[in-house]
Amino acid sequence: MYLDNGARSLIKSDHCNTILVRWVVREKGVTLAGPSPNSLVDPISNDLLRADIFETIINWGQEILDNRQTFNNRFYQSFIVLSYCRMLHDLHTGYAGSKRAGAEWAKSALDPSWSELIDGSWDGRPNPAQQVQQPADPQDFKKTLKFVECVMNESKRYVERKDRQG
């Protein structure tokens, strides 16, 4: 259970038992008490992690594109851009990194025209509970949807290249 941004009641988590979360717990978990996380979670291969990340990029991207109005607020506008930077970076590296690392990587790896959107999204992170109730800037949101399409296409190209390489 968790309290989502702007929510007034607890919501059952549907994302805490994913391959990505299990990888993070095993590889980056900090033991405060009890056994080490890597004794509780089985190893996850880079290929399995990449497949999970790719599936998320494509499925969530399609959900965003199909239900634009659901995501048309200041919180999601920033969250989507930074999440897609991180996921594409993670797909390329084969491990889960931070949004900051993903954003910096994306600015150097993707067309430079995305840098302003990425920087603006990073600057737009404070106060998510308030931002979830404010509409996104129309131009930024339009660019965000284009960015999602760009990352979906780039991830497909990446997976196709990896498949050809064997």
Segment 63-84, tens digit of pLDDT: 999 999 999 999 999 999 999 9
Task: Give the residue-averaged pLDDT of 130-146.
Answer: 91
The pLDDT, as a whole number, for residue 76 is 94
Q: What is the distance between the alpha carbons of residues 76 and 82, in angstroms, rounded to a whole number?
A: 10
What does the pLDDT read at residue 3? 61
Let me know the angle formed at the C-alpha of 50 by 107 and 62, rounded to the nearest 5 degrees. 70
Separation between Cα atoms, residue 80 and residue 64, nearest integer Å: 9
Q: How confident is the model at residue 131, as a pLDDT?
A: 76
* pTM, full prediction: 0.87
CA gap 139, 46 in Å, rounded: 37
Can you list the domains of the chain with their CATH numbers? 44-165 (1.20.120)
CA distance 159 to 57: 12
pLDDT (average), residues 85-93: 97
Residue 102 has pLDDT above 60, yes or no: yes
pLDDT tens for residues 43-68?
A: 999 999 999 999 999 999 999 999 99
32 contacts: CB under 8 Å, gap ≥ 6: none
Tokens of 156: 């497909």
